[in-house]
Amino acid sequence: MRILRLRDVIEKTGLARSTIYKYVDEGCFPRPVSLGGRSVGWVDAEVHEWIAQKVQSRDIQHQPMNRSAPH
């Protein structure tokens, strides 16, 4: 299991620090894991799954409609 630090999560997602913490507070982004003291990190697999869900959601929303040919 790999732990990502905040800078890695920012780089991987393209989100700003404030947006990451906002999404965590809203429950729509993986929660960080305490690493001791004030240090936190995110489980790489959870961040990867979040990104995969965003891609899947995009693909579902933009699927071409299955239209029949005109008669």
pLDDT on residue 66: 61
Terminal CA-to-CA distance of the chain, rounded, Å?
A: 57
- Single-letter residue type at 31: R
pLDDT on residue 63: 75
3-57 has which CATH code?
1.10.238
Q: Is the dihedral of CA 30, 38, 34, 3 positive or negative?
A: positive
Q: Is the dihedral of CA 59, 57, 32, 25 positive or negative?
A: positive
Q: Is the predicted pLDDT of residue 71 greater than 90, yes or no?
A: no
Q: What is the pTM of this model?
A: 0.82
pLDDT on residue 44: 98
- Single-letter residue type at 6: L
